[in-house]
Amino acid sequence: MAGLVPGETLRVLLVSISEDARDDVAAALADRAGDHRLYWISQPDLAPVRAGDLLPHVVLVDDELGGFHASALISQLVARVPQAAILALVNPSDISSARQAILAGARAFVIKPVSGEDLLVALRQVLSGRAAAREEEPATAEASRIIVFCAPKGGTGRSLLSINTAVSLHQITGQPVVLIDADYAAPSLDVELNLDASRNIADLLPKLAALDASLISSTLATHASGIRVLLAPLPTGVSYSISLPHIQQVLAWLKRLFPWVIVDLGLPLDETAFAFLDGADRIVMTLLPEMGGLRNARLMLDQFQTHGYPEDKVWSVLNRANMRGGVSVHDIEERLRLQVRVQVPDDQPLATHSINRGVPIVSSHTGSAVAKTVEKLARLLIAERPAMAPAPVADAAQPRRRLFGKG
């Protein structure tokens, strides 16, 4: 829908004590609003707190709240979530309620019972205002790519590969790259990049309703390679829970500001993790050539299928591909029904040296086999954006085989 960043899910919060109103709004949105989520709260006094948690794009406030004044609630919501568009739902015989709602800060009103056409027109009007407000921001959202690195278990080199791919993308394209530490159970990018972790995503959570480019930039760490990094807090240092709407809001902003958004995603695959995966243009699964990890990888791929991800959304990268006693690439592809796109050679001493020094391999050992393989992966990702692609590498492109699917 106009006014949303491409790939962003429309979040609508309904404040009403009436189940009929909830059903009417749900039906009105179902066939007309595209990708959306409707949240309903029947206790008006809790609505401002709930809105602060959800960060909705639109709040619908029923004018009949069982003795609670709708106009007073609208004023509270305007203060709590100033970027949300607030619409009043009013009875056709009580236009005075509509007038009071507008004076309190509502952007528009919709007559009850809610019809799909009336609601759609109102949504388009208020969301177009959001789009106009962004005209002076960097226009990168449509071209931006979100690449999520994930793994079926720890120890696959996921963080090492996400770091080096981010740096390699910046080196090749010269464009801004932001790397996100989304392993909230066991964050590590501050150590692996030798960064000060005093500022991280937890600093943004209380201010998500008033995000802007300056606030985000002040929260990002800057690495010597030139990439920016959004660090994760220590698991014991999170005073705000990180929810799906929070992640969607942060990702939407980063897509506006950076052509490349690289995510180092941890386990488990909970709602927050799927917020990153849902927004990804490419999912890169890192593997080791061992049977235990491959079993977990197959289970992870099944989860991706359950969530409706296209077959070609997931790439597999085999780390330590030539390790002694490892499972062959042919057997891995047959077991996972997924092509291995890139094979990273086994160089554990170099990987350990890089992590302990906090210096990416593609910066310190540019001639190593690992660095050259990471560059190959970066060029494959760049090749998906022809307008950005540098001179191609002769062996970068590989013929795809349709191996991901049920069977």
| Beta strand ranges found along 163-287 (DSSP E) | 177-182, 221-222, 228-230, 260-265, 282-287
pLDDT of 55 strictly over 90: no
Q: How many helices (H) and strands (E) does the chain have?
A: 15, 13
pLDDT digits (tens, 9 = 90+) for 43-52: 999 999 888 8
pLDDT of 165 > 90? The answer is yes
Q: How confident is the model at residue 320 (pLDDT cuts 50, 70, 90)?
A: very high
User: Mean pLDDT for the chain?
Assistant: 85
pLDDT tens for each residue of 213-265: 888 889 999 999 999 999 998 877 555 577 777 888 888 889 889 999 999 99
Share of the chain above pLDDT 90, in %: 54
Residue 205 in this model has a pLDDT that exceeds 50: yes
Determine contact, residues 209/249, Cβ cutoff 8 Å: no
Intra-chain end-to-end CA distance of the chain, in Å? 37
According to DSSP, residue 106 is labeled: -
Query: 174 - beta bridge partners?
Result: none
Question: Hey, where are the domains in the chain?
Answer: 10-133, 145-383
CATH number for region 145-383: 3.40.50.300
- Report the alpha-carbon distance of residue 343 to residue 353 in Å, rounded: 20
pLDDT tens by residue, 253-300: 898 899 999 999 999 898 889 989 988 999 999 999 999 899 999 999
Q: Is the fold of 10-133 the same as that of 145-383?
A: yes
At CA 249, angle to CA 222 and CA 32, rounded to 5? 150
Predicted local distance difference test score (pLDDT) of residue 3:
55
Distance of alpha carbon 386 from alpha carbon 376, whole angstroms: 16
What's the fold here for domain 10-133? Rossmann fold (3.40.50)
- Whether residue 324 has pLDDT greater than 60: yes
What's residue 244's pLDDT? 75
Which single residue is written with the structure tokens 């970066």? 378
Q: Which residues contact 180 (CB under 8 A, 6 or more apart)?
A: 201, 229, 230, 254, 261, 262, 263, 264, 276
